[in-house]
Amino acid sequence: MVSPIEQRYIDLHPGSLERHAQARDIFPDGVTHDGRRMSPFPIYATHGIGPHKWDVDGNRIIDYWTGHGSMILGHSHPEVVAAVASQMGRGTHLSASSDLEIKWGQQVQQLIPSAEKVRFHSSGTEATMMAIRMARAYTGKSKVIKFVEHFHGWSDYLTVGSAGMGGIPEETKNTMIVLPPNDIGIVEKTIQDNPDVAAIILEPTGAHMGQIPVLPSFLGELRELTERTGVVLIFDEVVTGFRISKGGAQAYYGVTPDMTTMAKILGGGLPGGAVAGKADIINMIQARGDADFDQNRRIAHNGTFNANPLSAAAGTVALDLIMNTDVTETANAMGQRLKDGLNDLLTRMEVPGCASGIASLIFLRLGADHECDKGVCVMTPEQTAQAHNAHRDGQFVLSMLNNGVHATSRFIMSAAHREQDVDDTVDATERALTELRQSGLI
């Protein structure tokens, strides 16, 4: 049975409905990214400017997906557009090294504390794949520790412990160890019991961009433990890099890992990824002229679009703006305004839950009556279960779109968002919560 929220969504988005019917004959689930699956169907967009995008039905939408976190500058930033257009006229792929890649790598070194050396890729998944392979080659060990619900892309190794593990060999699964976060005792015992552990990888703010937070103290404990045991510590900063602070979560928390993976903001809205870290580890790619090492320990790494001129053009402009303007600080300030507005709304409407998060990553969790500091909000398992209701959350997303906002329970801010956008978003959330209440969902 179609709910009133769903019916309004269908009425407002006939063009998207029509396109989804076509797409289902082409793509699994009718989409090209798992994150775009929606019931009854996803929206189809035409263009974006600043903090807004427009769908095929002409609806203007305040966007909090922001290119899955890559668009901290907002859509169609004029300096990025100009740089990419200029480079397009000079060549999209020259099968050669370039000045742009040198500048891009130097910017990463200047911004990211752990970046002694850098290697570019085309995505975050490639970067995390390379990071664990480098750690294994460097240490001569094979096992990697990750944490429950932490996302590191879709590779065979790093999907272990997540939904969707079809096709992964048991031999691969056996090299991965999945632990609960925030318990250093379990991590230490695991390393003691498994002398073959090469690395630990984690999202430094917590799972799903920080929606299930890691305690900042846990990062320091991991750094001390890994230094003492010789295990490589990897921060997956694909989302948090250049966002939590100019130097990422590692600069924000003052904990420097051995290796860092990056993507999203790094590419200025175009495909781009990188691994940075200690020179000795990154140099596992470097040929030594030693026949045995080059054959058996060196990591061969190609990639047609590594540091390609278009991505490098966009990425260098984005990092220039991050280095020399208040891009990160503006996005963070808008995040604080949204967080405050949402928490005031929940109090006024007497809706259990909170808006929490660090910097420009804000999370709205409904249904759980709890106390937190609205920053790093660690819930009990029971509270977490209350805060995740698939039907309610799906209806919330549709209602927010009906009211001109594209967000889930996650709001990823950009520096293009303005106070009016944030205030309009709080108003839209009030309307959405009212509809959920009328439907008996809160």
Residue 102 has pLDDT above 90, yes or no: yes
Q: Kindly state whether residues 233 and 287 are assigned to the same domain.
A: yes
Same structural domain, 156 and 290 = yes
Burial grade of 258 (CB within 10 A; 0-12, 13-18, 19 or more): buried
114 and 237 fall within a common domain:
yes
Per the structure block, which two tokens stand in for 380? Answer: 């009990």
Q: Give yes or no: residues 298 and 257 share one domain.
A: yes
Q: Which amino acid is at 61?
A: I
CA-nearest of 210, 269, 244, 246 to 73 is 269
Residue ending a domain, among 286, 307, 324, is 324
State how far the Cα of 65 lies from the Cα of 49, in Å rounded to an integer: 14
**Same-domain status, 139 and 92:** yes
Sign of the dihedral defined by the CA atoms of residues 77, 109, 138, 233, in that order: negative
CA 60 – CA 426 distance, rounded (Å): 16
Residue 413 has pLDDT above 90, yes or no: yes
Asked whether 13 and 59 are in contact (CB, 8 A), the reply is yes
Domain finish residue from 303, 324, 345: 324
Q: Give the model confidence (pLDDT) of 5-32 as tens digits.
A: 999 999 999 999 999 999 999 999 999 9
Do 225 and 184 form a contact (C-beta atoms < 8 A)? yes
Identify whether residues 122 and 262 lie together within a single domain. yes
What values do phi and psi take at 426, rounded to 5? Answer: -65, -40
Structure tokens at 37: 């699956």
Confidence band (pLDDT; 50, 70, 90) for 335? very high
Which has the closest alpha carbon to 154: 134, 119, 128?
Answer: 128
Q: What is the pLDDT of residue 1?
A: 86
Q: Is residue 210 domain-shared with residue 278, that is, in the same domain?
A: yes
CA dist 114 and 358 (Å) reads 21
**pLDDT recorded at residue 385:** 82
**What does the pLDDT average to over 275-281?**
98
Domains identified in the chain, total number:
2
Mean pLDDT, residues 42-52: 98
Q: Note whether 52 and 75 are within 8 A (CB).
A: yes
**Of 269, 304, 324, the domain-final residue:** 324
| pLDDT tops 90 at residue 380 | no
Q: What is the mean pLDDT of the chain?
A: 96
Enclosing domain of residue 61:
4-75+327-438
pLDDT at position 44 is 98
Handedness of CA 79, 82, 86, 91 (dihedral sign): positive
Question: Is 203 found in the same domain as 63?
Answer: no
pLDDT > 90? residue 368: no
Q: How many CB atoms lie within 10 A of CB 28?
A: 10
- Strand, coil or helix: what is 238? coil
How far from 48 is each of 58, 64, 267, CA to CA, in Å? Answer: 12, 12, 17
Q: Indicate if 318 and 343 belong to the same structural domain.
A: no
Per-residue pLDDT at 377 exceeds 90: no
CATH of the domain at 258: 3.40.640.10
Residue that wins the pLDDT comparison between 380 and 269: 269
Residues 416 and 73: beta-carbon distance below 8 Å:
yes
Verify that 65 and 103 share a domain, yes or no.
no
Q: Are residues 124 and 247 in the same domain?
A: yes
Please check whether residues 352 and 407 belong to one and the same domain. yes
Chain center to CA of 88: 28
- Among 84-98, 140-154, 374-388, 399-413, which stretch is predicted with the lowest mean pLDDT? 374-388
Q: What is the mean pLDDT of residues 61-79?
A: 97
The CATH number that applies at residue 25 is 3.90.1150.10
pLDDT tens digit string along 209-263? 888 899 999 999 999 999 999 999 999 999 999 999 999 999 999 999 999 999 9
Model confidence at 118: pLDDT above 90: yes
Residue 373, Cβ neighbours under 10 Å: how many? 9
Query: What confidence score (pLDDT) does residue 373 get?
Result: 85
